[in-house]
Amino acid sequence: MDPGSAEVRLSDLCKTPARVALLRTVLEHPTMSVSALAARNRVTRGMVSRYLSMLEAEGILVRDGRGYRLVESPSVVTIRKLLNILILTHTVPLPEWAWGIGVYGSWGRGTNKEGSDCDLWVAAQEVPPADEMGRFRMTIRNAIHTEVHILLLTPERIQQIRDKDQPFYESLVESTITIRGESFVHT
């Protein structure tokens, strides 16, 4: 395999759990220093320095004074989106009362940063009890350590959004990624 191939380069970036944790931290913060990243991720400054040099060579980061700055690019958005999908598919179950669940907004577009809330939609035939929705939201929030907003989509609600708020509906459809079950789009 060509050492410059996408497979080799991606493998190098994600070779260990520590590298993936560093990558996730880098993607959430627009600027960072070696010391801050090392402290936050409990790894050595040498490891962080070598890894940030790799990210710089890939065009993901650029030097900015004594630190680094994230370069928003199609590669960065795609990597962030992939990490979001992996996190959510691992932590978000499909409730018994729902036929589908997905993510939209900044997490669906791969533009989320630290502090971005996670917008989920849950498609169900009817509205579940409020306490079930509350427990479900809290379970996800505690698992991903991020504020979670849930948009409940019944067939009636989908039609209402489609009819009365076409711009929001189009944005929802454009940024949505179905995590479990079936999409609401063709309902």
Q: What is the pLDDT of residues 29-69, one digit of tens each?
A: 889 899 999 999 999 999 999 999 999 999 999 999 989 99
Q: Please tell me the predicted confidence (pLDDT) of residue 183.
A: 94
Report the alpha-carbon distance of residue 62 to residue 105 in Å, rounded: 27
Dist CA 114 CA 37 (whole Å): 14
The CATH number linked to 47 is 1.10.10.10
Do residues 48 and 97 share a domain? no
- Residue pair 70/60 in contact by the 8 Å Cβ criterion: yes
CB 68 within 8 A of CB 32: yes
- Domains held by the chain: number: 2
Query: Are residues 168 and 141 located together in one domain of the fold?
Result: yes
* pLDDT tops 60 at residue 187: no
CB 156 within 8 A of CB 72: no
Same domain, 48 and 81: no
Contact call for residues 100 and 183 (beta carbons, < 8 A): yes
pLDDT digits (tens, 9 = 90+) for 5-32: 888 888 888 999 999 999 999 998 889 8
SS3 sequence, 61-103?
Answer: EEEECCEEEECCCHHHHHHHHHHHHHHHHHHCCCCCCCCEEEE
The answer on 177 and 88 residing in a single domain is yes
What CATH number corresponds to the domain at position 81? Answer: 3.30.460.10
Instruction: Let me know: does 153 contact 122? Beta carbons within 8 Å.
Output: yes
Assess whether pLDDT exceeds 90 at residue 169.
Answer: yes
* Residue 22 included in any domain: yes
Closest CA to 58 of 10, 125, 121: 10
Using CA atoms of 94, 100, 103, 104 in order, give the dihedral in degrees to the nearest 10. -160
**pLDDT single digits (tens) 75-93:** 999 999 999 999 999 999 9
| Residues 100 and 28 occupy one common structural domain | no
Closest listed residue to residue 88, CA positions, set 77, 96, 80:
80
The rounded distance, in Å, linking the Cα atoms of 9 and 11 is: 5
Domain-embedded: residue 158: yes
The answer to whether residue 81 is domain-embedded is yes
Range(s) of the domain holding residue 61: 6-71
Q: How far apart are CA 43 and CA 111, in angstroms?
A: 26
Q: State the first-to-last Cα distance of the chain, in angstroms, to the nearest integer.
A: 45
What mean pLDDT do residues 133-159 have?
95
Do 138 and 172 fall within a single domain?
Answer: yes
Query: 161 in a domain, yes or no?
Result: yes
Does any domain span residue 173?
A: yes
| 34 within domain boundaries | yes
